[in-house]
Amino acid sequence: MSINMKTLTQAFAKTAAVIEKTVQTTVQEVSGPKALLDYELLHQIGSAGPGLAWKLYSAKARDATRPLQYPTVCVWLLDKKMLAEARARSGISKIVEDSFFDLIRADAARLVRLRHPGVVHVVQALDENKNAMTMVTEPLFASVANAIGNVENVAKVPKDLKGIEMSLLEVKHGLLQIAESLEFLHTNARLIHRAISPENVLITSSGAWKLGGFGFAISTDQASSDFVKAFHYSEYDTEDSVMPLQPSLNYTAPELVRSKSSSVGWSSDIFSYGCLAYHLVARKPLFDCNNNVKMYMNTLTYLSSEAFSSIPPELIYDLQRMLSANESTRPSALDFTGSPFFRDDTRLRALRFLDHMLERDNMQKSEFLKALSDMWKDFDSRVLQYKV
């Protein structure tokens, strides 16, 4: 009997691949997903994503000899076992749990593919075993949700987060960056995010604001089809689910809530962005409806000028347009970047120059630095720490 060496070699290679995969799976089950093998967790810095289910950790590579893009990174850890136990205690079905984990996987997969300065940069893609999911990103400070006081799923609140107060200048700078990121999503990536909210906006360790949370995102082609269903919210007060399968109602556009919706477009993100801007500038949410769609619709229907009494005059007109129930009257993200709210602030213009410093010629840099010396006193401590 003759032996075909090519067949034998292929059989050995196939067996070796099976053994390697089995070994990797066994190691994972014992020691956890890849990020926990490659990185040492230093301390928890915050939480993010739907239901703030992701725990964010500052971490450093265990192998110091490997070339590194960042001295430290952010390891995202989702405790599947803990969430499953919480789900069981709440009486939520296993189907919901599986759907939630699929949502997390879709978010992570989209995040890897999107390459833009305004989107959180993934260093190591999602990996998981039966107990946990992890991914690794550029170093972060926290989510905007954490920065405005929602520190759910943070075991010990870091000192930097306790009593944090973001100045209007920092908020303006962050909102302008998110508006530019939305313009990229809508125009170049042809995506509709559908979940712009504080838990899906991340602040990096250098103070930049970036988008995450793409689990609900759809393409503009999908949006124009008849297969996009409205999100389902109850008609009575309900607590936030440990595994939400729809975006936070407090930041969701009305056309995404109506049972019979017209075609969904980028304007839905503009409404959500308007809710985010309102919350950050007024220091209180526009909607606080406990996932009650009746309360939400009532607030929207009877939105009066009094609701904008704590909003700077130069922002009111644009904010009211963004929060219009009529999608066709909302400005684009690009339109909003030209708002007097941004345009008339000399300090913000200085920060924007710093953002693009490397693109300027030496003469421009020299003139700017001379002007900047007279502006130090106008910047608050957080902005000085991150940008100046």
What was the pLDDT predicted at 25? Answer: 47
Cα-Cα-Cα-Cα dihedral of 170, 211, 203, 70, to 10°? -130
Q: Is the pLDDT of residue 17 over 60?
A: no
Please name each of the domains of the chain with its CATH number.
35-343 (1.10.510.10), 346-386 (no CATH)
Whether 214 and 196 have beta carbons less than 8 Å apart is answered as no
User: What's the token pair of residue 275?
Assistant: 């809710």
Stated as kind and residue range, the H or E segment containing 320 is helix 313-322
Whether 202 and 171 have beta carbons less than 8 Å apart is answered as no
Task: Choose between 241 and 120: higher pLDDT.
Answer: 120
pLDDT band at 349 (very low <50, low <70, confident <90, very high): confident
Helix (H, G, I), strand (E, B) or coil at 190: coil
DSSP string for residues in 246-314: S--GGG--GGGTSSS-----THHHHHHHHHHHHHHHHTS-S---TTBHHHHHHHHHT--GGGGTTS-HH
| Crossing angle for the helix pair 313-322 and 267-282, to the nearest 10 degrees | 150
Q: Is the pLDDT of residue 355 over 80?
A: no
CA distances from 199 to 208, 213, 251, 260, 330 (A): 15, 8, 11, 28, 23
- The pLDDT mean for the chain works out to 86
Q: Is the pLDDT of residue 283 over 80?
A: yes
CA distances from 203 to 99, 121, 137, 241, 267 (A): 28, 12, 12, 25, 24
pLDDT tens track for 104-114: 999 999 999 99
Least confident of 39-43, 54-58, 379-383: 379-383
Whether 104 and 81 have beta carbons less than 8 Å apart is answered as no
Query: Cα 303 vs. chain centroid, distance in angstroms?
Result: 27
Stated as kind and residue range, the H or E segment containing 40 is strand 39-48
Per mean pLDDT, which of 79-83, 360-364, 377-381 is the most reliable? 79-83
Whether 387 and 176 have beta carbons less than 8 Å apart is answered as no
CA distances from 122 to 116, 134, 217 (A): 11, 11, 17
What was the pLDDT predicted at 233? Answer: 80
Q: Is the pLDDT of residue 31 over 60?
A: no
Q: Is the pLDDT of residue 125 over 60?
A: yes
Q: What is the pTM of this model?
A: 0.86
What was the pLDDT predicted at 26? Answer: 40
